[in-house]
Structure 1
Amino acid sequence: MIRTLSVFFLFFFYYSSNINAQELSENFLVHDILQKNDQDADLHFRMDATDRKVLQFYRDRDFQPVWFQGSRLNSAGQYALQTLKNAGQEGLNPQDYHLVLRNFLFLELHLLSPEKVAEYETLLTKYIIFYIKDLDGERLNPQKISKQLYIKVDMVDPYEILSNGMKEDPSGKWLTELTVHHPEYQQLKEVLARYRNIEQKGEWTPLKLPENQKITLGTNDAFVEALKTRLILEGYLKEGTNNSVFDSSIEQALKEFQHYHGLEADGRLGKETLVALNVSVKDRIDQILLSMERWRWLPENKGEHYILVNIAGYYLQAFENEKKILQMPVIIGRNYRQTPVFSSKIDFVRFNPSWYVPHSIAVKDKLPLLRSDPSYFNTKGYHIYDESGEAVNPEEVDWSDVDSSSFDYRIVQDPGSANALGKLFFHINTPFDVFLHGTPDVDLFKKEKRSFSSGCIRVFDPVSLAFFLLNNPEKWSQETIIQVTQGNQTQTLPLEHPVNIYVTYQTVWIDDQNQPYFVEDIYQQDKAIKKVFERRKTVF
Structure 2
Amino acid sequence: MPMIATVLPRAVLLSSLIFLGQLLLGTGAQAQVTAFKQAVAEAAAKDRDLAAFYQDNEFTGIWIGDSAADKARRVALFDAIRSAEDHGLPAARYDAEGLMAKLKSARSARDLGKAEVALSQVFLRLSRDMQTGVLVPGQVDDDIKRQVPYRERLSYLTNFVQSSPQAFFRALPPQSNEYARLMKEKLRLERLADRGGWGPAVPAEAVKPGQSGAAVTALRDRLVAMGFLDRSATQVYDENMLHAVQRFQLAHGLTPDGVAGPGTLAEINVPVQERLKSLIVAMERERWINMPLGERHILVNLTDFHARIIDDGAVSFETRVVIGKNTGDRRSPEFSDEMDHMVINPTWHVPRSIAVGEYLPKMKRNPNAVSHLRLYNSRGQQVSRGAVNFAAYNASNFPFSIKQPPSQSNALGLVKFMFPNKYNIYLHDTPAKDLFGREVRAYSHGCVRVQKPFELAYELLSKQETDPKRAFHSILDTGRETRVNLEEVVPVHIIYRTAFTQAKGPVQYRRDVYGRDGRIWDALDKAGVSLRAVQG
How does the TM-score come out when normalised to structure 1? 0.82
Contact residue 219 and residue 246 of structure 1 kept, 8 A: yes
Deviation, structure 1 residue 402: 7.4
Matches of 1:12 and 1:274 in 2, distance apart? 59
Which whole-Å deviations, capped at 9, do the CAs of 1:270-290 have from their partners, x for residues lacking one? 222222122221111001111
Deviation, structure 1 residue 67: 6.7
Matches of 1:496 and 1:513 in 2, distance apart? 33
CA shift in 2, pair 1:119/1:486, >3 Å: same
Contact residue 347 and residue 403 of structure 2 kept, 8 A: yes
Aligned partner (choices 193, 201, 209) of residue 207 of structure 1:
201
CA shift in 2, pair 1:361/1:156, >3 Å: same
CA shift in 2, pair 1:67/1:78, >3 Å: farther
Contact residue 435 and residue 456 of structure 1 kept, 8 A: yes
User: Match for residue 347 of structure 1?
Assistant: 340
Structure 2 counterparts to residues 287-298 of structure 1, below 5 A: 287-298=278-289
Aligned partner (choices 232, 242, 245) of residue 224 of structure 2:
232
Contact residue 236 and residue 257 of structure 1 kept, 8 A: yes
User: Match for residue 258 of structure 2?
Assistant: 267
Deviation, structure 1 residue 61: 7.6
User: Match for residue 96 of structure 2?
Assistant: 100
CA shift in 2, pair 1:76/1:58, >3 Å: farther
How does the TM-score come out when normalised to structure 2? 0.83
Contact residue 68 and residue 117 of structure 1 kept, 8 A: no
Deviation, structure 1 residue 498: 3.6
CA shift in 2, pair 1:383/1:204, >3 Å: same
Unaligned runs of 5+ in 2: 1-14, 532-536
Contact residue 18 and residue 66 of structure 2 kept, 8 A: no
Matches of 2:382 and 2:152 in 1, distance apart? 58
User: Match for residue 356 of structure 1?
Assistant: 349
Contact residue 359 and residue 370 of structure 2 kept, 8 A: no
Deviation, structure 1 residue 221: 0.1
Matches of 1:72 and 1:284 in 2, distance apart? 41
Matches of 1:459 and 1:483 in 2, distance apart? 21
Matches of 2:85 and 2:390 in 1, distance apart? 61
Contact residue 333 and residue 456 of structure 1 kept, 8 A: yes
Contact residue 17 and residue 70 of structure 1 kept, 8 A: no
User: Match for residue 272 of structure 2?
Assistant: 281
User: Match for residue 162 of structure 2?
Assistant: 167
Contact residue 351 and residue 485 of structure 1 kept, 8 A: yes
Matches of 1:392 and 1:438 in 2, distance apart? 28
Unaligned runs of 5+ in 1: 1-9
User: Match for residue 78 of structure 2?
Assistant: 81
Matches of 1:96 and 1:419 in 2, distance apart? 53
User: Match for residue 135 of structure 2?
Assistant: 140
Counterpart amino acid of residue 314 in structure 1: F
* Percent of pairs with identical residues: 24
Alignment of 1:452 onto 2:447: no
Matches of 2:123 and 2:434 in 1, distance apart? 52
Deviation, structure 1 residue 229: 1.0
3-state DSSP class of the match of 1:330?
strand
Alignment of 1:443 onto 2:437: no
User: Match for residue 6 of structure 1?
Assistant: none
Aligned partner (choices 209, 217, 220) of residue 217 of structure 1:
209
Deviation, structure 1 residue 69: 2.8
Deviation, structure 1 residue 392: 5.6
User: Match for residue 383 of structure 1?
Assistant: 374
3-state DSSP class of the match of 1:265?
coil
3-state DSSP class of the match of 1:306?
strand
3-state DSSP class of the match of 1:526?
helix
- Judge which range, 360-369 or 347-356, deviates more: 360-369
User: Match for residue 303 of structure 1?
Assistant: 294
CA shift in 2, pair 1:61/1:101, >3 Å: farther
User: Match for residue 502 of structure 2?
Assistant: 511
User: Match for residue 145 of structure 2?
Assistant: 150
CA shift in 2, pair 1:210/1:227, >3 Å: closer
Contact residue 21 and residue 65 of structure 2 kept, 8 A: no
CA shift in 2, pair 1:196/1:277, >3 Å: same
CA shift in 2, pair 1:301/1:142, >3 Å: same
Contact residue 90 and residue 527 of structure 2 kept, 8 A: no
- Judge which range, 256-265 or 74-83, deviates more: 74-83
Which whole-Å deviations, capped at 9, do the CAs of 1:108-146 have from their partners, x for residues lacking one? xx8986767666554433322211110123422111122
How much is the aligned-residue C-alpha RMSD, in angstroms? Answer: 3.8
Which whole-Å deviations, capped at 9, do the CAs of 1:221-273 have from their partners, x for residues lacking one? 0111111111111111111x112211111111112212222222222222222
Contact residue 329 and residue 445 of structure 1 kept, 8 A: yes
Matches of 1:468 and 1:183 in 2, distance apart? 24
Deviation, structure 1 residue 158: 4.1
Matches of 1:219 and 1:469 in 2, distance apart? 49
Contact residue 150 and residue 342 of structure 1 kept, 8 A: yes
